[in-house]
């Protein structure tokens, strides 16, 4: 039976922790044990149909979280429920309800052509033939698989294999999809194919997605909600807009002039960030001023050749967020 009611969260995480004990060299012969806290008390609630971007710098604890949510790793502490199941002890039952792609690992059979892997998965998950065929047909079209369906997986390029992995993760119609860097190493065309495919899933509204990526364009395209983790803890959980507001992202006004000015124009609420092109380009940040007042103000002061308003850049915000100092431990 299903583990969750219609309004219950699909993913429910409370106080999740994971510690690894690692051996480190201490002098020439001695080794000592050191505890690495990879996940340090994460709370997370995700409802059906949500598309959540789970981001953070290298080593923040993203993959470790995903491994605990999918039953690969046992948490050191805390509670996890996914589709109403506790992932590790109920791993087999959970597997029927979730789809998983870990960019670095494969769930395909290395020596078999993709087509045969898909067929094996159909039997493992006991998907009715007609349903399987319909889903595979859709993946073939949307992810453009036909050119390499009969090639053994070991001979596939990374991008081809990732498209195969996504298909494999979806053939049993999972309710929740966990994707750990699904666009890593893909060329522009494959990346777009994967994004459009996931966007289409999102539009259908019944798949829940938890996605980690270092490509923030994935997030902008797919996720309304962004969870940012650092040092194993959540530092932001909300919309991308909320992140911009919180970390003070600013629109920029970029003004191109025919001639450099002798004196820099001063505009209230919009400091000059920098000049470029030997003083022929001025870049202002809209702090308290709106872009339109900045443009109007500039037009009064100087002869403009061209003007552009640049939207806040998520890359810029996230860089500043990652660089923010780690919270100081009390004591
Ligand atoms: N099996 C392990 N044994 C020891 N330490 C580990 C193990 N797995 C992860 N860690 C450590 O836990 C921390 C979090 O690792 P994790 O792989 O979750 O990071 P991540 O956010 O996925 O990073 P990336 O963006 O590089 O993929 C790191 O400090 C890592 O070295
Ligand atoms: Mg990782």
Cβ 232 under 6 angstroms from ligand 1:
no
CA of 236 to the centre of ligand 2 (A): 18
Q: To which H or E segment does residue 31 belong?
A: strand 31-46
pLDDT digits (tens, 9 = 90+) for 219-273: 988 999 999 999 999 999 999 888 877 777 778 899 999 888 888 889 999 989 8
**What distance in angstroms lies between residue 64's CA and the mean position of ligand 2's atoms?**
7
DSSP label at residue 260: -
Q: How far is the CA of 64 from the centre of ligand 1 (A)?
A: 6
Spatial distance between the Cα atoms of 9 and 69, rounded to a whole number of angstroms: 14
The C-alpha atoms of residue 258 and residue 261 are separated, in whole angstroms, by 9
Question: Considering the chain, what is the average pLDDT of its residues?
Answer: 89
Which domains, and CATH codes, for the chain? Answer: 11-245 (3.40.50.300), 249-317 (3.30.70)
Output the residue whose Cα is nearest ligand 1's atom 1. 20
**For 113-135, what is each residue's pLDDT tens digit?**
999 999 999 999 999 999 999 99
pLDDT for res 326:
52
Q: How many CA atoms lie within 13 A of 306 on its CB side?
A: 4
Which two structure tokens, joined as six digits, stand for 226? 């962004």
- Shortest-distance ligand to the CA of residue 20: 1
Please state whether beta strands 77-82 and 11-25 pair in parallel, antiparallel, or not at all (unpaired). antiparallel
Name residue 253's beta-bridge partners: 284, 309
User: Residue 213: CB within 6 Å of ligand 1?
Assistant: no
pLDDT of residue 329: 46
**pLDDT beyond 90 at 38:** yes
pLDDT at 327 over 60: no
Nearest to 185 by CA among 163, 214, 158, 217: 158
Per-residue pLDDT for 1 more than 50? no
Closest CA to 159 of 134, 204, 195: 195
CA distances (Å), origin 52, targets 7, 47, 100, 179: 18, 10, 15, 10
Which band of pLDDT confidence, cut at 50, 70 and 90, is reported for residue 17? very high
Structure tokens at 299: 């037009």
Spatial CA neighbour of 45 closest among 206, 200, 225: 225
Give yes or no for residue 70 CB within 6 A of ligand 1: no
62 CB less than 6 Å from ligand 1? yes
In this structure, the number of other CB atoms found within 10 A of the CB of residue 90 comes to: 17
The mean pLDDT of 26-54, rounded to a whole number, is 93
Count Cβ atoms within 10 A of the Cβ of residue 41 and give its class: 0-12 exposed, 13-18 middle, 19 or more buried: middle
């Amino acid at each position: 039976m299903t583990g969750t009611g219609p309004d219950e969260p699909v993913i429910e995480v409370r106080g999740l922790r994971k510690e690894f004990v690692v051996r480190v060299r201490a002098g020439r012969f001695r080794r000592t044990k050191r505890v690495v806290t990879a996940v340090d008390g994460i709370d997370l609630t995700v409802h059906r149909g949500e598309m959540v971007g789970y981001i953070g710098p290298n080593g923040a604890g993203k993959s470790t979280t995903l491994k605990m949510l999918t039953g690969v790793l046992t948490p050191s502490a805390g509670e996890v429920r996914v589709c109403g199941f506790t992932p590790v002890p109920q791993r087999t039952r959970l597997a029927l309800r979730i789809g998983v792609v870990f960019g670095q690992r494969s769930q395909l059979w290395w020596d078999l052509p993709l087509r045969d892997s898909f067929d094996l998965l159909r039997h493992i998950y006991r998907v009715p033939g007609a349903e399987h065929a319909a889903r595979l047909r859709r993946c073939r079209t949307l992810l453009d698989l036909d050119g390499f369906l009969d090639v053994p997986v070991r001979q596939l390029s990374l991008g081809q294999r990732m498209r195969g992995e996504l298909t494999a993760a979806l053939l049993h119609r999972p309710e929740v999809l966990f994707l750990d860097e699904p666009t890593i190493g893909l060329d522009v065309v494959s990346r777009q194919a994967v994004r459009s495919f996931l966007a289409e899933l999102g539009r259908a509204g019944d798949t829940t997605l938890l996605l980690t990526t270092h490509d923030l364009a994935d997030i902008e395209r797919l996720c309304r909600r962004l969870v940012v983790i650092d040092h194993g803890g959540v530092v932001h959980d909300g919309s991308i807009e909320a992140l911009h507001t919180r970390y003070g992202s600013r629109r920029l006004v970029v003004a191109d002039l025919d001639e450099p000015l002798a004196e820099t124009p001063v505009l209230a609420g919009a400091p000059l960030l920098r000049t470029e092109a030997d003083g022929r380009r001025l870049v202002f940040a809209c702090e308290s001023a709106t872009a339109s007042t900045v443009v109007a103000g500039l037009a009064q002061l100087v002869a403009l050749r061209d003007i552009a308003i640049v939207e806040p850049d998520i890359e810029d915000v996230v860089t500043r967020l990652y660089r923010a100092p780690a919270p100081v431990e009390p004591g």
